[in-house]
Amino acid sequence: MENKNQFRLLFERRFGPFFLTQLLGAFNDNLYKNALVILVAYHAATYSTLDPNLLTNAAAGIFILPFLLFSASAGQIADKFEKSAIIRTIKAVEIVIVAIAAAGLFLKSLPLLYAALFLLGLHSTFFGPVKYAILPQTLTPAELVGGNGLVEMGTFVAILAGTLVAGMLIALHNGTAWVSALILLIGVAGFLASLAIPKAPAAAASLAFDWNPLRETWSNLKFARQNRTVFLSLLGISWFWFYGLLFLSQFPVYSRLVLGGNEHVVTLLLALFSIGVAAGSLLCERLSGHKVEIGLVPFGSIGLSIFAVDLFFATPGSVSRIDVGAWQFLMQPGAWRIALDLFLIGLFGGFYIVPLYALIQTRCPSSHRSRVIAANNILNALFMIVASGLAWFVLDAGFTIPQLLLMTGLLNAAVALYIYTLVPEFLLRFVDWMLVHSIYRLKTSGIANIPEEGPALLVCNHQSLADALVVTAACRRPIRFVMYYAIFNVPGLRFIFRSMKAIPIAGAKEAPEVLDRAYDEIAAALEDGQLVCIFPEGQLTRDGEIGPFRPGVTRILARTPVPVVPMALSGLWRSIFSRNRDKWKIATLFPAVSLTAGPALSPAAATPDALHAIVSSLAANDRTKKRRTA
């Protein structure tokens, strides 16, 4: 289960019907929304005497408005009631909404068309909290990143497909009839798919419903702020939609006035960005090693800035040809660099967004998960409104679209740097992820023995200075490491160790006050439900063998009895961070490293001698496996 390919989830009932339901819903939203925009932009006189630009911008605002008004209520409903029933109800209502939309298209009634658009926005408002809150209930922690990646991939594929199909159908004779028939068909198909979604029990069935959306939203944001990492993840997701809107909203004018392209070039730019996000979302599962790897978030933000800046320099200063098609555009000098930049912006956007959603799902209590996601939807809407206003202000001030895109990339770098200084965990996980994936070839076994929630003491042998980095990279949860206080206080490194919330410790004769304080911090961390890792040898191995375990484990468990997970590291003795005198040989620069976790022991069974025997056995078994596969 732990290493299951994410695509296999599509064929399992616990995920496949839900994925199909959300995919069809997103497709229908974008099909109708883009068909309506094309109609009011190119055939406005048939529907109204109002300015087409006003009607086009009004469509975007009407679709977003329900997110601001009703997200708080949607989050409460998603937490209070069984989720599959909520989804089926939402999808049944969608059939009525698209019927109203079809009637508006048939009657050429602008009020009906905009009413249906508002109701589709309302449909998405109530579906959003359920969409992300149901995943942790139906997927294992090892599948959560892959499941989120599939959902994000499906969302952006639906956006792209809805946009393309809307343009093709409206261009046909009786195009509105084709659109009407298709949205009705997709609405029914989405409802039928929802019937197969298995039950997901209510997370907070006794929740008292608050009808005041402002008060409820503020309450949810206050709850999220109790966990700084979760709250800043909400802001990070909203920032992504801010960034994305600034880019996507410029594609039509950027294509026509800057690149000299026709509407097919606009579609090409959207396709490159959407395919990039889809690819990045799917790659997250492989790059993260089947766990929530927030180290990918800084990696993603770096790419979002670098390739936005490069897009500015890749953009031509003047248009050589006008009204060129997609293929003609790609044949022009420098066009492939622009295309690659847009694809890579989307790719790194996927690296950025998927771990953030997964982090919120795992670190937010299940009783509040839907409401926190609903609050996030409100933040997303507000950020997108601000992005639209900023784009209008900057362009009205005389800046060009390439300059606006450059500003977006630079602003992204500034915002990312600010967030990572507030929560160093993001940046530290990124550095850890880069080191482990560039220096070592890490394989893990038995990691599922580390509990997904609740306290536990991790006990591991000590081969090198990089041991903590390897253990961190392999584990899905944050870990508090106990380390020698003299190393903890090294100038320049102290900030890193404090950011990791490492616990400094010393010998009883060396600094008894440091030792007592360390045991107090360990007890407090375990009582708070955290993971604590110790290296009971008390020092790095000098010969590659596992030394005697000191009695500190016994003192910890006597005060705070928790499960103990024995772990064995192997391969790091041949790395440059060990005390191995032969470590500078080229053959040992990129060693294969293994981390094996055994079944958890009860506090009574976890004596130093018993743990030493188990860790030694795990290490010996791993060496035997390596010899057999060599």
Read off the pLDDT of each residue in 489-514 and give the average, rounded to a whole number. Answer: 83
* pLDDT at site 218: 82
Q: Which residues pair with 531 in a beta bridge?
A: 456, 479
Kindly indicate the confidence band of residue 221, based on its pLDDT and cuts at 50, 70 and 90.
confident
Distance CA 217, CA 371 (A): 8
Q: Is pLDDT above 90 for 271?
A: no
- What's 291's DSSP letter? S
Distance CA 369, CA 372 (A): 5
* pLDDT at site 56: 66
* pLDDT at site 285: 77
For residues 465 and 577, the answer to whether their CB atoms sit within 8 Å is yes
Percent of the chain with pLDDT over 70: 92
Read off the pLDDT of each residue in 469-474 and give the average, rounded to a whole number. Answer: 84
> Would you call 435 exposed, middle or buried from its count of C-beta atoms within 10 A (0-12, 13-18, 19+)?
middle
Query: Residues with Cβ < 8 Å from 184, sequence gap 6 or more?
Result: 95, 98, 99, 102
Helix (H/G/I), strand (E/B), else coil: 531: strand
Kindly list the distances between the CA atom of residue 57 and the CA atoms of 38, 161, 483, in Å, as whole numbers in the listed order: 12, 21, 58
Q: Give the number of residues written for the chain.
A: 630
- Tokens 């909520």 identify what position? 86
- Tokens 């109530």 identify what position? 126
* Per-residue pLDDT tens over the stretch 118-136: 999 999 999 988 988 898 8
Render 487-500 in DSSP notation, one character per residue: HHT-TTTHHHHHHT
* Per-residue pLDDT tens over the stretch 350-374: 989 888 888 888 888 777 888 888 8
Amino acid letter for position 219: S
- Exposed e or buried b for every residue in 519-555, given b needs 16+ CB within 10 A? bebbbebbeeebbbbbbbbeebbeeeebbebbebbee
For residues 503 and 525, the answer to whether their CB atoms sit within 8 Å is yes
For residues 275 and 342, the answer to whether their CB atoms sit within 8 Å is no
Read off the pLDDT of each residue in 173-180 and give the average, rounded to a whole number. Answer: 90
Read off the pLDDT of each residue in 205-218 and give the average, rounded to a whole number. Answer: 81
